[in-house]
Chains A and B, each alone.
Chain A
């Protein structure tokens, strides 16, 4: 019997989650469409003045991305929890944190990455400059994984609870505020002609920290929830 390497395990879990997501495509599209719709609703709420919209755009796209990523958090562990796969993952001779990290990675590829891709199109609706669009994409590329990582902990804590979906948002949203501030801040500083470097650096620092500690905490939360 061949031993499976660490990378082998990660790629196995990621590929499995991606295949599952592809066979349930509707779920993936829901997040994306939600994102597009929320962003498009704002002009209807605040009026079509281009000057104001251009000013609001970075924050607006970021808030919508935050809300959209909350939408899919419930799915991260619930299917595996219901059919017993999660139990098997805990009883695996590998570290649960690694499995969790792989699941987060897969979740981000399915629900976070599409937001990064579609964001420039939405930014154009608000007449953002090309440079601002680039920075917007970079911040989302750095920021959406953080949302997935923090969200995973929230999803793990609320696993199997009644009203889990709303509760997850209640727990996770306050924790995501720094990401929102630095993410939207970076884009805004570019718009107003300041260097966005410090914002991006802070965002990167948060990402590294979150990646280092949160999978481990999430694994612990899963153990608590399954007991």
Chain B
């Protein structure tokens, strides 16, 4: 399955980039700079979505004691963190021409930063516990606490932002051009497929590592080589 997802991710990526960077017209207000959106938006959406999926898998693993779902949770975390980072990075790049500074304490950007912290916490906790079962269960609990907290954090950041009346520039959706929508959709699919492919690759290596002593792993051709 991995090659399927990887190839289709690559195809959509190329298509999305082509649409986004060459076909889509220049925006009236924002000029060429808005094109960074084609990476920024999918990355932000996926980074939030993956956290929820991860917490879901973690909860399943904790409640029903299924090992595969715990492994899925820990395989999702690095991809989610990478996307959150990417979203921050592109957000900063977008912010420079738009707001005149690399970083603005905008509500969405701040929430994304906190999300990255949550990912880092999850990964750090998982990495610092040696016993894999305890690591799975402890970080699952953390992911659950985190996912309950995410709406509260998001709301509080919104609140904080309105209180301070920061320099928020709303993305005024002057009816998006059709090609823009297509490009955005293609990129979203590309990032989605990429995340699935990466997670599958990672979960495969986690399974092989954990089950390294069992018979069926030893019989695998790849391992023998």
Contact between A and B in the complex (any CB pair below 8 Å) = yes
Closest Cβ of chain A to B60, distance in Å, is 16
A227 within 8 A of B: yes
Q: How far is the CA of A185 from the CA of B156 in the complex (A)?
A: 10
Chain A's interface size range is 20 to 34
B145–A175 CB distance below 8 A:
yes
B142–A157 CB distance below 8 A:
yes
Name the CB-closest residue of B to A175: B149
B160–A174 CB distance below 8 A:
no
Q: How far is the CA of A183 from the CA of B185 in the complex (A)?
A: 41
B156–A161 CB distance below 8 A:
no
Known contacts A153-B145, A224-B138; A174 and B163 CB within 8 A of each other: no
The 0/1 profile, CB within 8 Å of B marked 1, for residues 216-227 of chain A is 010011001101
Q: How far is the CA of A200 from the CA of B153 in the complex (A)?
A: 16
Number of A-B contacts (CB under 8 A): 72
A174–B114 CB distance below 8 A:
yes
Contact partners of A185 in chain B: CB under 8 A:
159-160, 163
B117–A224 CB distance below 8 A:
no
A174–B156 CB distance below 8 A:
no
Name the CB-closest residue of B to A169: B121
Name the CB-closest residue of B to A205: B152
Q: How far is the CA of A124 from the CA of B149 in the complex (A)?
A: 34
Stretch in B79-87, B123-131, B197-205, B210-218 with 4+ CB within 8 Å of A = B123-131
Closest Cβ of chain B to A185, distance in Å, is 6
A224–B128 CB distance below 8 A:
no
B134 within 8 A of A: yes
Known contacts A167-B124, A167-B125; A181 and B159 CB within 8 A of each other: yes
Q: How far is the CA of A149 from the CA of B94 in the complex (A)?
A: 39
Closest Cβ of chain B to A168, distance in Å, is 10
B16 within 8 A of A: no
B52 within 8 A of A: no
Contact partners of B117 in chain A: CB under 8 A:
170, 173-174
Known contacts A153-B145, A217-B141; A178 and B128 CB within 8 A of each other: no
A182–B125 CB distance below 8 A:
no
B55 within 8 A of A: no
A221–B138 CB distance below 8 A:
yes
Interface residues of B (CB under 8 A from A): 114, 117-118, 120-121, 124-125, 128-129, 133-134, 137-138, 141-142, 144-146, 149, 152-153, 155-157, 159-160, 163
| Beyond known contacts A157-B142, A175-B153: 5 more, CB 8 A cutoff | A161-B128, A177-B153, A178-B152, A206-B152, A217-B145
